[in-house]
Structure 1
Amino acid sequence: MELAVLGLTADEERVYEALVGQPGATAAALADQLESDVGPLRRVLTSLVEKHLVTRSGRPGRYATAPPDIAINRLVQAREWELSAARAKAYALSEIHRNANRVSPDLAIEQLTDRETIAAAVARLESDAQHQIRVFDTPPYYQEPGGEGAARNTAVQIARHQRDGVVHRVIYSQEALTWPRKLDTDILPAVRGGELARMRRSLPLKMIIRDDQDALIPFDLSRSGLQVAYLVRRSPLFTALEALFEGEWAQAVPLDANAASPTAIDDPARPDDETLSLLAMMMAGLTDTAIAHAKGWSTRTTYRRLQSLMTELGASTRFQAGCIAGRRGWL
């Protein structure tokens, strides 16, 4: 009954599976194979035709399945759209519920207490932004950094926001850069998409600020098994959060935006992505151990790669390597 989630009955799934291996069968032949009465089986076949899983042709009618990878995936996509609409409806109803249960509609701080609600609030802040999004990005993370598809989606989303005039400014903690696969699959694709990124050795909290309207601060209360976030609206506290971000931004070190740009990557005189990523980590002040952790390398491999890069640059120290890379236009 694996296909029941797509709206198929047990009889429809059984007939469909039989027909996949017997294309062009008549209703009578299928009835014999399945040891079923032909009348009810014809009704099942008619239902499968209406769902575009089966086609009928000729006289007497012969039945064949549409390519399962196309037909079933079409049903999957339809169900995903339905689920997406249901999630959007649930969030809209949740907003109404929270507004109705507030002591005051002008409450400056709202507590969110489940992961789905927090994720929906983050998505709303990002989608509703008109001018800029400001972010403190630091572990822990609750999802693994994305692969190529997720990285591409991140870059496309930020590029779309840039076209709409929305600026992304993100400060990453040093620990974020060392988080496994985070730099290569999340940070650099975002920078290539137009994100303005900087780095600080540490950040006081995780935070996302939308325009000059509201901010979300998530907390991980691991000992209690609870994840909590506070949604802060325009208020003296919100003004303090804006000032905190701008103060950290002024002191943060810019990440390698030029090296991450598409034009730089297409330049045959420039190093590959792996080398640029390693150079960015070096210039961010990460230790050999931190780089090894971020890249999933052994300490020996990390030392060998760093020495190879410094030899290529003709440098004897990391500081000298940074100066030479800058003169070459790698930074």
Structure 2
Amino acid sequence: MHDVLDADSERGRVYRCLVARPRARIQELAPAAGLDADTVLAVLRDLAEEGAAVAFGPAHSSDDRDHCWEALPPARVVETVLQRDAMRQATARRAGDELERLYRYARRDAGTYGALEVVEDRAEVMAASNRLQLAARHQVRVIDVPPYSGSSAHYLDQEALQRRRMAAGVVYRAIYQGCAFEDPVAGPNMARMVEAGEQARTLDEPPLKLAIGDEDLAIVTLPADGRDGVVSLLVRPSGLLNALAAVFETLWRLAVPATVAGVDLRIDERDRRILTLMASGATDDAIARRLGLGRRTVVRRVSTLLAHLGATTRFQAGVQAARRGWL
């Protein structure tokens, strides 16, 4: 039905003539569309069958040539096209999932792991990364570590793609190594993406380079053994992909939000003791009694320390404080 919206197709030309000419007859539509009457009649019947046009005719005549034709609203036609596209995509995904399961089942005893594909060609890796982002419907999770080998053009292309996906509602969460701030290319790219809405955090030394699209595909990039370059592993739905997603979420909880990663907060002895007690699991009431402080003072200081550390739990605060050498 897509060609109904294509002005260069026969059906598109007839439908556009109908849109501009309410209750038109075939004799009027044929010259306007540049088609003969028989072709226009066949197209009108197709449009009526697909819900893009309707005929009005005299009760005494069953000949479509005597009818007037009316286009149904374009907004309804567009919505029908989009719904059919969505159904086709859903059907394709289901078929792909079934074929993927069959693929892995057929190879379960062949000495290979069907969910894993090794890719060494850089162009193929970049294409897989683009597919991962374009297919994501909910979120893309990324761990980015050196070496930052991409060119400025590569980062600009990635920015453009990421902005489009975020505009479509896809959430990007990224964990960067702390030194990314200092890289002349990766640093400005990270800053622009954070400003555009990316949720970014930093860790001192993330253990791997990783990208995950929803729960459908992960790409792990590792140094090549015994030679220069890298090797990428494409991981499809499996226990391994679930494990990689769990690794990301664990590191995310430990990482520092990028907006506060560079803050060098000086704390006094009282805050240091509060942090120590927080890390041990003490409640606000227990901390207040132990340090001889008012409960409201403790609550206020705990809230401030959590914010500066970019932590949402006391455990995270303890980890971040230890990383900064405060404990």
TM-score by length of 1: 0.49
Structure 1 or 2, whichever has the larger Rg, is 2
TM-score by length of 2: 0.49
